[in-house]
A = this chain, B = another copy of it.
Amino acid sequence: VHFASDNTSGVAPPILDALVAAASGYAPAYGDDELTLALDDRFGELFEHEVRVFPVVSGTAANSLALSVLTPPWGLMLCHEQAHVYVDEAGAPEHFTRGARLVALPGAAGKIDLEALRVVAARGGHGVHTSDPSALTLTQATELGTVYTPDEVAARAAIAHEHGLGVHMDGARFANAVASLGCTPADLTWRSGVDLLSFGATKNGAMGAEAVVVFDLDRVGDLERNRKRAGHLLSKMRYASAQLHAYIADGLWLQLAAHANGLAADLSSGLAGVDGVEVATPTEANEVFAFMPDELIGALEAKGAAFYVERVGDRPAVRLVVSWSSTPDDVEAFLAAARSGA
């Protein structure tokens, strides 16, 4: 049973179909093809806002490119202390920004603490000696399976904007967040103060496609140059674009996400009923975090369950990631194993 990560899943059939359909014939290279050229309009409709869309093939690239136009080399990029940009990207944001600094902020359940943000965001502006806060990045859904409400995003974005910081959202699991909240993509982004979004598709059914979506068009800046210079301007761009089109067509992205979220909720409530198991954070998207006895963890692993152990607060917690391709049987099998002490 594969709960290690949603990026172990395959490709959702409609996306694969779109790839196959796009695979024949000629198309201009480097993004001058029709599929890519149509992205701005198509995403503009989805987000109810004029946007610029820049496809890339990894979340790390999307996040780093977005940050690269929000911060100078002497800027500070504020993030949650468990954010992917901070702990899982090997310094890619520093590489793309040519040396800006990530500053980790605390916060319960994966959400940046408002007061901590207020203190650090206010630190800039004292002349040439200091590194100045320049960007805030929020992960949505968070690294701990929770979801910022639009109001929670807005509260953080407002502090950021008050002090001149740009606001980025790492939406590797943006679909799961939107599906969870039942709000519009607009509500959760530019209406709440988000300037740039890393719009993830790979974890939720694509083969390899993410997009930097720019809402504040004044902030496009050097994004195209930085993308090219980082080797992320694809010659056969149409294939990334084809995935993105199929992903958002007919609500596919939200269906896939809702499916995963629903199974995660089942898994979470099931685990809550298992002796000795404690759900560690609210299950609001497609990830379940649970405290478990070491023996149970060992037994589940021995039985072949695939998952990681992360940290919630000071305690180790099992992380179970449900994907678009997970099934009720997968969930039931895991619960049965847990109930039986594996």
Contacts and interface: CB of A to CB of B under 8 A. Distances in A.
Contact of A99 (B56, B72, B94, B128): B94
B234 A57 contact: yes
Nearest to A84: B129
Interface residues of A, number: 72
A99 B90 contact: no
B8 A58 contact: no
Interface string A53-68: 0001111111011000
B11 A28 contact: no
A91 B101 contact: yes
Name the residue among A27, A208, A222, A224 with the largest chain B CB count within 10 angstroms.
A208
Contact of A90 (B9, B131, B207): B131
B90 A128 contact: yes
A9 B33 CA distance: 12
A176 B3 CA distance: 43
A29 B58 contact: no
Contacts of A98: 73, 98-99
A73 B5 CA distance: 28
Most chain B beta-carbon neighbours within 10 Å: one of A30, A128, A325:
A128
Interface string A103-126: 110000000000000000000000
A234 B222 contact: no
Contact of A10 (B25, B28, B131, B224): B25
A203 interface: yes
A92 interface: yes
